[in-house]
Amino acid sequence: MADVVFATPELQEQAASIIARYPSTRSALMPLLYLAQSVQGHVSSEGMREIALLLDITTAEVEAVASFYTMFRMGPTGTHLLDVCTNVSCKLRGADELLACAKEALGPGCEGVTEDGVFTLHEEECLGACETAPVVQVNFANYDNVTREQLLDIVEKLRAGEEPPAPSRGPLPKDFKEASRVLAGVQDLFASTSSAASAASAASVTSEGGGAG
């Protein structure tokens, strides 16, 4: 059977390098699910079949893991995934209003994929940052203490293809597929951010040096 998801030599090499990280091949299951998700924007049945073959386990075992964790999307997903936590701490700090605000801003169908294909909205359980509730994630990057205005600003910028405000910690993946590549361990956003920062800093030093001379 021809590979449908890991269809290119590059993807096959990445899958092989993920498997090689672990003493037991089945331990590569979650990163391979992220890799499959980075290709199609969700985990498809073809992807699960290919992973099962690669790891010599059953498709049912792959599906059991993929369907358990909410980070894996089992159906079509927009360019950006917007998660709103509505667990207790966030609920007490206005999460229900934020969720309603997100639904209104994104429009009908947003819990699947919005008509323009840009968003999927997901109501999430605790995101592990209760002390900064309410919390919203964009492509798995946390925004803390989010207000209605901030949420609308993030949505507006993403919809317009502009850079949204920076998340509360770490860099923001450019889209859901990139976030999945990062979680598969085949892309390092921190490295690209720090090399961009080094280049900017070097350019600034050079230009300052030129001015002084």
Q: Is 137 in the site for ligand FES (CB under 6 A)?
A: no
Sheet holding 141-143, edge to edge: 119-124, 80-85, 136-138, 141-143
Over the window 71 to 90, marking each residue x when it contacts ligand FES by CB under 6 A and - when it does not, the resulting string is --------------x-xxxx
How far apart are alpha carbons 150 and 202 in whole angstroms? Answer: 33
189 is an interface residue for ligand FES by CB under 6 A: no
Cβ proximity to ligand FES, 46 vs 96, nearer residue: 96
Count Cα atoms within 13 angstroms, Cβ side, for 55: 28
φ/ψ of residue 138, rounded to 5:
-120, 120
Residue from the set 127, 136, 141, 146 that interacts with ligand FES by CB under 6 A: 127
Does 19 contact ligand FES by CB under 6 A?
Answer: no
Q: Does 129 bind ligand FES (CB under 6 A)?
A: yes
Q: Report how far residue 124's alpha carbon sits from residue 122's, in angstroms, rounded to the nearest whole number.
A: 6
Q: Which is nearer to ligand FES, 89 or 150 (CB)?
A: 89
| CB of 162 vs ligand FES, minimal distance in Å | 27
**Looking at the chain, how many residues does it have?**
213
- Cα atoms in the Cβ-side hemisphere of radius 13 Å centred on 53: 12
Site residues, ligand FES (CB under 6 A): 85, 87-90, 126-127, 129-130, 133, 135
